[in-house]
Amino acid sequence: MSRSVLCAVDISNVGKDDQVLKTAKRLADLDGAQLDVVTIVPDFGKSLVAGFFDASHHAEALKAAKAELKQQIITSLGPDADAKIRHVVATGTAYEEILRTAKEIGCVQTLRVLYVTRNVRYMLCVEPIKRPK
C-alpha cells in the first residue's frame, strides 16, 4: 500500500486554496507520498430540495466539480503535477467525507482542515492511520 497525503479544497473558493495545495504537494514530495486532493459536492438527493432537481443533476454536478478541481490544481501546481495527483470528488457532508476518504486511501499525513460554513467552524484532525504489518 502506498503512502498518501490528503488535501481537501473548496472549489467554490477559486485561488484561495493555492497555498494549501502547494504545501500539500511539498509534504507529499518530502515524504515520497501520493498526493490526493478531495473536494465535496453536497448531496441534494437526501435533502428536502431534492425534488427541485432533475435526475441527472447529481451526475452533472460531479462532472463539473471534477473539471473545476482539475483546473484549480493545474492553475496552482501546473499540468505536470496534476498528472500525478489523484482527484477525488465525494458527495455528502464535508467533514464526514474527508474522514471517509482519509480512511479509504490510508492517509499517512496528519490532516488539519478548517472548514467554514454558515459561520460554523469545524476543526478536523486526522491522525495517521495504523496499518497492519
C-alpha 102/C-alpha 78 separation (Å) is 24
**Span 97-126, pLDDT tens digits:** 888 888 888 775 544 444 444 444 444 444
Q: What is the residue extent of each domain of the chain?
A: 4-126
CA-closest candidate to residue 4, choices 44, 32, 23, 26: 32
Give 132's strand partners: none
Which comes out higher in pLDDT, residue 55 or 28?
28
Q: Computed from CA positions of residues 47, 51, 52, 58, in that sequence, does the dihedral angle turn out positive or negative? A: positive
Q: CATH classification of 4-126 is 3.40.190.10, yes or no?
A: no
Most confident of 28-32, 53-57, 104-108: 28-32
Q: Where are the beta strands (DSSP E) in the chain?
A: 4-8, 34-41, 86-91, 111-117, 120-126
Q: Confidence band (pLDDT; 50, 70, 90) for 79?
A: very high
Out of 13-22, 28-37, 69-78, give the one with best mean pLDDT. Answer: 69-78
**Most confident option among 10-14, 78-82, 94-98:** 78-82
Q: Is the pTM of this model over 0.85?
A: no
